[in-house]
Structure formats: C-alpha cells, structure tokens
Structure 1
C-alpha cells in the first residue's frame, strides 16, 4: 500500500506548496526535492507492490519508505500548524527570531534533509531490483487524480442467480412447519452463497407475511451468548443491555410466546460450549416457528437439530448462471448495451476459472466493472491464471486480485475495515468521515470532500468488497458490512502493510471497544493516527481517564472517534485537553453520555474538518468559539434534543458542506444563530433544519435558503413543534430551485405547503414525507398540463390521515421509478401488496 501512502502525501504536499504559507515556503527547496524524488519513485511502486510478497529486500525497502513518508507528513503538518500560529500573532518579527522558532527551523531542516537522503537511497536500491515501467498515470481511474463517478448510482450486491428452485424448496419446508421448532440448515464452503440464499428467503414477501416475527443473527467465530440474546431482543424492539442470560432469555420467550417466528442464525461455527442448547430450550415452540442455520460445518447443523432431510447444500453455479452473475456486475454501468465479443471471450474464460463460486465471480467481476480496454481485461485474466497456478484457494485468489487492482486511493479506505470486529455492522458516514480526517480521500478536481468520499465508498461497494445492510428508498446506504472471507483478506493485508500495528508493536490505528486493553494503551506513541469506536449496536464503550492520558501522547492523531461511549468521569474533566491534539481533523462524539458541553479548548483545533455531536441528548449549547474553526466541512448536531440554538457567527464557516440539526435562534436566545446567517454558506450540500416554533424564522428570513445554489438535500424536521403560527410561516418559505432531494419530517399542517410543487422544485428527484398530520396535498402539488414532477423516487411513511389516489400520483409523476410506503393505511389504491401497517416497495419495470 506504499503507493497509496505516497499518493496521499503528494496530494497534501502539492496543496501545501500552492498555499504559499510562510512556514512551508521556508523549506520549499527540501519539499520540492522530496516531491521530485517521490514522483520518480512512483514509477517503481507498482512493481514493488507485486514483488514484495516474494522478495524480502523489496519488502524492507517498501516498509522503510512508508515510515519515511509518515514522518514527512507529520513534519508538513507541523509546518502548517506553525504557520497558522504565526498568522494569528501580531508581532511576527519577534516570533521569527525567537529561540523556539530558531530551534524549530533547525530541527525541521535537518529532519527533511535526512528523509530526502534516505528516500534517494531507497530509490537507487529499487532501481537495482525493479524495472521502472513509468506508467504512473495510465490507469484510467487515477489519471490526473480523478476519482471515477460510477454511471450506476447503486448496484445490488445481493444479485441472485440460480437460487429460485433452492429458495422455493426451503420456503416449502418453512410453510410446512407445525409443532415444535423446525430447524433448517444451509451448509457449504465459504463463498458458495449460503448467506445470500438465507437473505433471499428472509426478505421474501411470502415469508414476511407468513411469520409474525423475523430475526436475523450473525453469529461468527467469536461471540458471547448474551450478545446473541441481546441481538434477538434488539430485533424484537427491546434495547436490553444486561448480561444476565436467564433474564435475557425470559424476555425473548415473553416476546415470542404464542407467535410464529423465524430466526436466522448466520455463519455458525461451533456449538461446543452449549449455547445453542440453552437458547433453544428457552425458545417457545409451535405455531410453525422455525430457525435457519447457515454454516460451513454439517455437524454444527446436526447438533442444532437439523435433520438430514432439511439440510440444503447450495450448488455451484452453472457456466451460464456464472456468466449471468458476472455480467450483472462487470457490465453494471453499461445500461444493457451490446457487449464487445472480445470482452465476452475473456470474461467467459475468467468465469470458467471461478468454478461456479459466486463470491469469486463477484470479486473478479467487481474488478472489471471499471476496466474498459481489451488489454486491461487480458492482463487481469492472465494475472488470475498465474495466481491460480500458485494458490488453489480460488476465492482468496480472486479477492487478493481484487485488492491488488484497487486504485491506490481506495486501498487505505479498504484497510480501515480491518479495525472492526467480525460481523460488525458499520455506519457508512463513520467510515467516510474517518477517510476524510486521515486524508485518504483525494481533493482534486474541485469536488466536495463529502462527494469524493461517497465515490470512494461506492468504488468499494461496486467491486463487491463491501455489502449493503441498510439503505434508504432512493439507494442511499446507511450501514454496511463485509463478508467473512473479505475480512480474512483485509486482516491479512492490514498486517502485511502495518496499517494498524507497526513492526515494533506500537499502534498506528486503534479500535475503541468496550474497554481498551491495557497493553494497547502502553503501545501508543506519537505515531497513533486514529482511535475509532467499533462498538456494535448492543455495546457501549466505557471511557476511563487512562484513555485520555494516552491521547496526550498522540499529538499526531488525526481521527478521534469515541462514539457510543459512557465516560467514567465528568465530561468537563475528560475532554478538557482535546485542544492539545493539534492535527486533529475528525472529532466524533456521537451518542457520548453524559456529554453536556463541548470544551472551550476545541478552539485550538484549527485543522478540524469534521465535528459529529449527533445523539448527544444532554447537550444544550455549543461554545461560541466553534465559529472560528474555518476548516469545518461537516457539523452534525442531528438528534440533539436539548440543543437550544447554534452560536451566532456560524455563517463564517464558509467551507461547510454538511450541516445537520441546525436549530435557528428564537428571540429568547440572544446570542444564537439565525436562519439568515446560512445565506453565506455557498458550499453547503446537505442541510437539516430543526424548527419547533414560528418565532425561529423571522419574516425577512423566509427567502434565506433561496440562494444556496449548491444545496442538494434539504431536511425540514418539525419534531416536537408547537404553536398555531408555524404552519403559516413554513408555507411562506422559499427553497432553492435546484434542490435534488427534499425530506419533510413531522410537518405540522394537514395540507402540504404550497411551494411543494413541480413548478417551484423543477429539478427535485427524490421526495420523502414522514410522520405528522398530513391528510391532503395542496392543489399546486399536482402540477399542470405543462408541469409534471420529474421525481425518480417517493417515500410516504407514518401518514395515518393521508388519502390520495394512486392514479393521480402516477399521472403527476410520470418519471417515478421507486415508491416506498409504510404505515399509510388509507393509500389502498397504490401498487403495493400491502400499503397498510407493514408497508411496501414498488419499482417500475424497466
């Protein structure tokens, strides 16, 4: 991954030199020399990455270069920090000749010269062992630093081929169940599609209607019995966090008693400690209730009560089924256009080598989705054949090839998954914000960082390295996970690349789970770059003073994420020194309890780009100093119910791209931020307004959002609103005409606002209306003969009073492709199997 490390550093160095900050310019000669050396080295790095697995000398060179680049990156960050301090000092001459400044210049100059000497030596040694191909910019994905924008905004990773007969067989077993607890096993080797088959059945509409309760449990190799019970309860709507197994099991029995239920236990490795026996004894029996077990071991299924007649072993795909799956992935963005016969010949050759294993086909197909030339396809096919001649593990070979073919900027993004525990469900936004904080996301071409981060995630997803867990009606991904065999690869590569743990045992990136082990705290030094919470849905972190003492040793920390945590001391004491981490770029305090205030020392974090305080329910105010953090691009205050207002001066944060949970100031909050201040946020892409009373919007602010031309997604949330004047005030708002997506939550009126019409919002693609008292749409909503909606997707949720006819909706929205309706019992004419309390989805047939 050294090519990625070099690429990230060069990107930062070029931007720093272009900024012409005095402290960087002082060392321009050394930095320019370093830049030139690294550009020349890049021509060797592709070969070095391939050779290092078999050549120990090349590996040592690559490892040494990686550490040098990290050191150079820290020096560059220190120079930028010094420049910022000097900028804020009035008497710059005295600063320039101060002993501290002179010592800094001497030390920094010596360090840079030493690094340059070592880089030159490594370059000469690499020239000895490798032949430079000088093709650093020939890859179409990386030419000029471009990040590819996929032509397909979302690709369904659970594309299922050849499973219809298997699914129907298992459904018959489920529907025939009567007494007792019917156990069904799906057994087979890794990569055969066991989980995919179980997902298809679990999400089948007939299965959903047949069972009153459905629960999905990922078991994995390492688990605790009480964790499984808590996951079951979580699926049943109970957020119990206790550890008493008897009490947890009693609750499960209570919730499921008298009901028909289906529980899927996915990826079970062992029942040796008796956990299944204890759990199954406590599950209620009868009513056609069933369990499905997916496992690689037939004996495990048998021990869990599966009889031979109800064990299903997925078969490998036929050649045509494999080719169909490959095409759905490799040509996902082709729009069904004719496939070049030369590509088909190579593609079929690859599919034949995959021996019908779905995961292998997906992995190699994911490589091809962004390759267009015949030569690239032939090169990858030849590499695949060569690797298969040396390694018989077909799935791991295909996954390794998929990693090797990743663009350099995606490799560190992918390796971030190594820090999460097995079967962990991850928040997409948490990942992207981490990537931005560490500088993994390229910053070229004038694109917003949040957009480029989304592209990086999409790049991994479309290569079948990341699986979607939860997504919105319009394809926006909320949560994700990785296949266990993909995790095997990412763990192996992270170890080889010293991504998390260095060769001397010290930590570069550390996960924050329940308790950080003491030996990990002792291995933290200046090289720590990221501390990231990996708490699952059933866990909370417990933050002790030792953790914050550890952070005081980590002045090069870029990402601090202590979300889902309970602090064992007062937040004022623990967070008071957060300002002593000078290079911090991402600070995530999501759902930290009991966070009541943000420490004033945050004003020292001049490099902070992301501040996430979402779900901090006890937080009432933000310090006014937050308005001086001019590099902020994401400020997330969503679901902070106690927040009274935002501080005045927020409009000075001109780089903001995402602002969530913005609560305008009411007259009683004199030092709060009013809606009018948002006019200056020209880079804002996503905005969530939380409005509870009419006084929060002054009459001269009704058009405050109108000129935000870059705004694409607007959320208006009126949860817990009051006062009869609010509806009238909301009806007079003016929205940006180029809005791409609009979400109305808890709208207090019984009729939609007049501005919600196809004339005012001509470029709107997605509309979501949820909760509230809405019973009818304003006449303007239906447009006119010359004006119809261009909507692609519509979601209506929890609107018990709404009554509209589908024919009228369809006529007003001729371009509608996706419709999602939940908890809207009066929408009986909509084209869904069930539009009542269960809800349903409709997609236009292509």
Structure 2
C-alpha cells in the first residue's frame, strides 16, 4: 500500500512560471517548451492528487503506482535541472564595476558562460519534454486511469471494525472501568439536565478500542442497571457505523431499520431522499426514549447532518459517538478521551491473548523481550492483541527467545506484513493517513525523521517544514502560521500527540505514538521519501536520495555513502558522530535544508562550503563550534531560517541585510553585543530571538523599526556600566506587527508606557532575581495596563 505523494510539483510549478520571465533571458523557443511542460505537469499533478486520495479499500493498482513513480521522478529531475541552472546563472554574474582590461575579459567570459548555461537548460527541457510524452503515451497504451483501483486485499476496514465490536469482554482488559466512566457521564446531572438529550463522544487514535468501548456501554445501558441500581428503559436503540466516506442515505435507512425492524423492514428498497429520511427519523423518535451509537465519524459536517435527525424530546435520550478527530468530538459534546492501556493492563491483555488467561506469566527467559514488545505496542489494544496472536499461533515456537526477539525486531522496523493480523492492524492504522490531503501526508511522513518516543519541539518542526517547501502560502497568514495550522490538524486527527503546552493551549512539543511511527517509517521507506543511514538500514537505497539522515559513523555507513547520488539531496541532517563522514558540501548543489545541530566538529572552516549552498532555505548551526559569521553569508539569498543558538558569535556582518527572505533568526545564547543599526532594514524578518549584553533605547528603536517583526525574544545579560537598569517601552518604538514578546533579565527592569506595542497579544517576562509584585518592582511600575491588545501573560 504505497504512500502516493506529489513529488516536487508544489515547488516546481512556480519555478517553471518564473523561468519564463525576462530575467533569465531564455530563447523564445525554450519558453514555449516550458509552457508546454507547465501545462502537462499541472495535469499530472491533478492525477497524482486523485491517486493520493484513493479510499483505503480501493488502493491504486500496480500500473498506477508505477506511472506515479515515473511522474514523481520526472518532477524531481526537472526541479534539479532548474535549480542548477539558477545556481550557474547567479554565480556567473557580472563582476564589480571596474575599467581594467582584466575585468573586461572576465565580463566577456561570464556572458559567454551564461550563454552556454542557457543553451544547456534548453537541451535539458527538451529531454524532459520527451520523457513526458513517453509517460503520457505509456499511460494511454496501458489504459492507466488515475481512479482505477486494485481489488482490495483481505477484509475491508469496516469489516475489521465490526470484528472488534464483537470481541469477548474477557479479552478486553480495562474495559469495565472505562465503560462505567462513560455510563456515569451519560447519567450524571440534576433532574432537569437528565431529561435532556445527552451526548458523549469517545475520541482517540486508531486501534485504541473506541468501537469496542462504545459497544460495551451500549450493552450495559440496554441490559444492565446503572450505578443507582435503577433499570434504564429505552424504547428503541441503534448502533450505526459512519466511516470515512459515508453514504448518508444508507446510514439513515440503517438507523430506521434498527429502531423498528418491523415497520421499516423494506426501507432499503425505498427511494426516499435524504431530507425525507431525516423527517421520518425525527417523527419516529419524537415521543421515545432512545439510545443511539454513531461509530467512526470523520467530519463535522457529517455529524451536523446526523444531528438534525436526533430530536431532543426531553425523554432522557442518550447518544454515544466515536471519532479520531478531536474537533468532531468537541462539536458533538461530552468529550471522553480514550487513553492507552496502563502497563499493568497491557501485560494482562498480552498474556491473556497468548496463554488464554491474564494471570499467566512468561518464563524467565522471555520476560525482558516481552516487556520490550509491550513498550513498542504503547498500550494500544489492537497492537497488543495482534502481536499476541502472532506469538500464540506458533505453539512450540512461541516460547523460544529467538522467535520472540524476531517478532520484536520486526515490529520495530516498520510492522511485519507477513501475518494477516498484522496486515489488518496496519490497515486500520492506515485509514487516518490515507484520509489526509497530500500536504498533510507529506508533513506526517517527514516526522519519520525523528527517533521513536522523541519529544519534538514544534517551533523547530514547523520551520523545517517551511524550509522544505511543504507549507503553502495562504492569504492573511505567515508561512509559520500556516505550518502551525498543519500541525494542529495532525494533532486534531490523533496522528500526533501534544505533550507540552504554553500560553494556555498552544502546543510547544509533541511526539508520535510508536505504532504510528512504525507506519510512517514503513510508508516513507516504500516511497523513498527519507533515507536514514545508521542504526537500522532500509532494505534498499533509492537511486535518487531526496532527504538524507545520517545517524552513526559505523563502517557500514562508510561503505554506503559513496553509493548514494548526493547531487539530488534536498535535505541533510547529521548527528554528531556521523559528521566525520560528511563529503564536501559541494556535492549537494540543490540542498534546501541543512541541520548540523550539536555537531561540535562544525567550525569556522566550514563556512566556505556552507555559503556556496545557493538554494539553502533552512540552516541550523545550533551547538556547533562556530565563532563568527563571514560576509559571504549574504550569498544565501533564499535562506528563511537561521539557527545559531548556543554558538559563540559576537558580531553579525552587514551583509546580513542581503538575506531578504530571512523569516526566523535564532541567536539566544549567541550574540552578546548591541543590536546592529542595519537590522532595521531587514525586510522580511518574522521572528527574532537574541541575547544582548545590555538593552538600551537605541536597541529598542532599531528593533521597533523592523516592520515585519511579529515575534521577539530578548535575553539580556548583566548591564554594563553607563547603561540604564530600567527601561520603558513607549510609543516611540512602534513595533507595528509585534504580537509576541518574551523578555528575560537577571537585573534589568522593563516597563511599558501608554501606546506601547499596540498589537501585542502575548507577553512573557522572566526576572529570576527580582522580588516584588507582578505589577511593580519597588517604585518602578511596569504599566501592563498600557498594553491595549494583551490577551495572555506569563511571569
């Protein structure tokens, strides 16, 4: 089940449009060829999107996958050619003005070189055009339809869900306690609220047992008694499944048939429209106490449609919904977050599945590996039952350390597909992935870059997405804000777990559940999306590596690196021990993302290679041994993110002003001087974090003049002699777009005058050694009341 994404289309099409401009002075015939490519690739992009949105139970057949791979490779090659063309044109620019004969010769040679480069791009584009025609003809020859699908292998996802519905209660460790919690939510309240229609929404990611829990509650409310020992009498009940692509007419017909099998025994043959079905349901329920479970809702609009039929008749009716989407649960009301099993319950379920009873323990030689397996399952009942089935099915072999270790290694390397139950588990977990739009698929696959259980800093993650080109422009929002929306969507769909929050409900760190991590790692390997060299080697290396993560410096890695075609790499991440293996950066001519975080071997001697990376968008030198930044930094004219935290830099060159696309500059624990005057001319800077030896009025004046600055973090060291220990921000420092401001100082006080920072919404102030009230230090009043737009504050 390959993960189909759209290759380089998102960034390629704008580049093709840019090539046609006069700036590149291409021959008229070449421009015509580019126009042809652009139109053809737009159609191919649309076809790739259609393929990527194929339902989970209708996966693309092998011919479609092959065609999609050819299109994707073609888009990569064309983007590489264009980027190399741009690099050559820019780096063979005209020399500085001079009247010497030598400079005249250099200029002539430069123009001649440019001519050859333009001729070369023309040849490359003709070659790409030929390949496009071949791919298009092949598609027609084999009658490849982007919507054609292979026969779904094995049971459908709905069938798998129903199989969990009827599992024996003895298999469902922990279900009793959780079902009582849901029952209590459904029955609590005063006499007035009890009479009203009440909804409880069970929410959690795939495999946690939402359907099973809903069914347990359903059975309990129908045939058992509630906590007060009073029989709950419902006049009618129904359990309906919605799923990813619902047919609402069939769902409403199923609901009517379950509510009254006699009256609506032939409802499936009726040709009623949706509106009539809703009216019929409302009329039927008008004077009845009903219990309805609506399982697996994926969309808020679907819930709204169903809600129209659920009349609130004040007869103590109850509704239970299940969903993977937090927004849906919140809209329905009564959110019950289903958590993974505890360690104790995980063991009970695991051993019960293997040995037939939960109090049975494995022999001593299997205890350690069983604990490792359970950690990988992460409390997900579906995973525990699946792996338990795999072990119990082998009878004698199930009790050998060798076999259990083999199972553990297989599930640690991206889910073993050799067993039917494991395939079914993966299909259930995959539904959420395949329901995503292409841009969120890409962002989720990118998370396979991080190790299992790793706590990911969301700010760094989103800026990496920006650097990779994953984040699209949206009117009225910055790229970072759009990327944040992407992450919120993945969290909302229970594919990413929020770990820590700031400013009330803003996620500042997240992680991936182990089972989801296994899934996206497997999909990433199939797609050739990310190549990881180090702890666990992929089964094969793609011919053209786009994203490379080198983890270790083992001999095996040394042998593998020369086999890679580095000229296509767009993103390079190196861990500290792997740095010694890095070949010259000149081998990465189209690199967009370079992450050297905590590679202490990176020092000032590497600047020459770094500054030649013309296409670089994201550069992290955090924790390296860099001590200065050369004037050649201005060559990185497309860089958007520069992270030099924890380095020893004390000065920025004035050529920084040439970084006209710079959005984020992180210099906390780095810079220790005054703010340079030229910084007020930074034309795109969105976020700045900086450490200063002292903060004065001139610094505030410069920072306040940066027209695009939305986020500012200042960390001030002890003030030098002659500098004020108290500083008031007033209307003279405009900060026109500043919405977030963080300030930290051991001995400097900061206040706000009337009219200060009029757009400021969030303020964080840290004064570790200052004692006093929140609003003043001794006789120094902070003036927080003068911040007219302030919404949230931390101290």
Partner of 2:531: 510
Q: CA deviation at 1:510?
A: 1.9
2:145 and 2:127 mapped to 1: Cα distance?
A: 27
The change in CA–CA distance for 1:626 and 1:575 in structure 2 (over 3 A counts) is farther
User: How do 1:76-475 and structure 2 match up within 5 A?
Assistant: 76-88=82-94, 94-95=109-110, 97=112, 101=117, 104-105=120-121, 107-122=123-138, 124-125=140-141, 129=145, 190-192=207-209, 340-342=304-306, 361-362=323-324, 399-443=429-473, 445=475, 447-475=477-505
Aligned partners of 1:424 and 1:481 also within 8 Å: yes
Of 707, 711, 735, which residue of structure 2 is paired with 1:713?
711
2:623 and 2:555 mapped to 1: Cα distance?
A: 17
Count of matched residue positions in the alignment of Structure 1 and Structure 2: 555
Q: CA deviation at 1:658?
A: 0.8
Aligned partners of 2:439 and 2:470 also within 8 Å: yes
1:657 and 1:591 mapped to 2: Cα distance?
A: 22
Which structure 2 residue ranges, 5 or more long, are not aligned?
96-103, 149-175, 185-204, 214-289, 312-318, 332-419
Partner of 2:685: 684
- Could you tell me the TM-score, scaled by structure 1's length? 0.56
2:122 and 2:9 mapped to 1: Cα distance?
A: 27
Partner of 1:723: 720
Partner of 1:793: 792
Partner of 2:751: 754
Aligned partners of 2:740 and 2:761 also within 8 Å: yes
The change in CA–CA distance for 1:39 and 1:168 in structure 2 (over 3 A counts) is closer
Partner of 1:557: 569
Q: Deviations over 1:633-672 (max 9, x none)?
A: 11112233x32222233223222111111689878xxxxx
Task: Name the SS for the 1:431 alignment partner.
Answer: helix
Q: CA deviation at 1:67?
A: 1.9
1:545 and 1:339 mapped to 2: Cα distance?
A: 51
Aligned partners of 1:474 and 1:766 also within 8 Å: no
Alignment partner of 1:499 is 2:528: yes
Alignment partner of 1:483 is 2:483: no
Task: Name the SS for the 2:725 alignment partner.
Answer: helix
Of 54, 58, 61, which residue of structure 1 is paired with 2:64?
58
Alignment partner of 1:656 is 2:694: no
The change in CA–CA distance for 1:93 and 1:456 in structure 2 (over 3 A counts) is farther
2:563 and 2:635 mapped to 1: Cα distance?
A: 24
Task: Name the SS for the 1:632 alignment partner.
Answer: coil
Alignment partner of 1:772 is 2:775: no
Which structure 1 residue ranges, 5 or more long, are not aligned?
133-160, 170-187, 197-318, 348-354, 371-389, 501-508, 535-539, 668-672, 797-846
Aligned partners of 1:745 and 1:771 also within 8 Å: yes
Q: CA deviation at 1:554?
A: 0.6
1:130 and 1:568 mapped to 2: Cα distance?
A: 43
User: How do 1:791-830 and structure 2 match up within 5 A?
Assistant: 791-796=790-795
Task: Name the SS for the 2:782 alignment partner.
Answer: helix
Higher relative contact order (CA 8 A, sep 6+): 2
Of 623, 628, 637, which residue of structure 2 is paired with 1:621?
628
The change in CA–CA distance for 1:635 and 1:474 in structure 2 (over 3 A counts) is farther
1:46 and 1:567 mapped to 2: Cα distance?
A: 37
- Could you tell me the TM-score, scaled by structure 2's length? 0.59
Hey, which of these two has a bigger chunk of helix by percent?
2
Partner of 1:581: 588
Q: CA deviation at 1:340?
A: 3.6
The change in CA–CA distance for 1:341 and 1:528 in structure 2 (over 3 A counts) is closer
Aligned partners of 1:470 and 1:478 also within 8 Å: yes
The change in CA–CA distance for 1:664 and 1:465 in structure 2 (over 3 A counts) is closer
Q: CA deviation at 1:168?
A: 15
Q: CA deviation at 1:419?
A: 4.1
Q: CA deviation at 1:743?
A: 0.9
Aligned partners of 2:206 and 2:432 also within 8 Å: no
Q: Deviations over 1:485-531 (max 9, x none)?
A: 333442443344x233xxxxxxxx22255x686x88x9476x21112
Q: CA RMSD in A?
A: 4.8
Aligned partners of 1:543 and 1:568 also within 8 Å: no
Aligned partners of 2:303 and 2:328 also within 8 Å: no
Task: Name the SS for the 1:582 alignment partner.
Answer: coil
Q: Deviations over 1:141-174 (max 9, x none)?
A: xxxxxxxxxxxxxxxxxxxx995966999xxxxx
Of 608, 611, 614, which residue of structure 2 is paired with 1:606?
614
The change in CA–CA distance for 1:102 and 1:76 in structure 2 (over 3 A counts) is closer
Q: CA deviation at 1:24?
A: 6.3
Task: Name the SS for the 1:432 alignment partner.
Answer: helix
